[in-house]
Amino acid sequence: MKNKIINYSKVFESIIRVQMISSLYISSLTYNELKEVCNCSDGNMATHTKKLLSEGFILTNKAFVNNKPQTTYSLTEKGREEFVNYIKLLNNVVNQEDKI
């Protein structure tokens, strides 16, 4: 392959984080909804959400719903832009492969 995939965020190296970002691209999700989508443990959720928070890809909103704490995650503008750029990069790679 002539062109290598370079200059993309390390955030996209984890399939779980890609699942999280792509799900949050569609809509905000609660902790339980996101955990179900990603089919991962509490420990994995903690690790990956910390990474996404520290990189500025997601925001959290903590509130009480029916007297129970609920955390909701949403994608930041930076997260949206980085995800769109990553998808464009993948499309370019696929389109170049089609020409070979």
Q: Which pLDDT score, from 0 to 100, does residue 64 have?
A: 94
Decide if pLDDT at 1 tops 50. no
Per-residue pLDDT reduced to its tens digit, 45-91: 999 999 999 999 999 999 999 999 999 999 999 999 999 999 998 88
Find the Cα–Cα–Cα–Cα dihedral 40, 49, 29, 63, rounded to 10°. 120
User: Which residues are bridge partners to 98 per DSSP?
Assistant: none
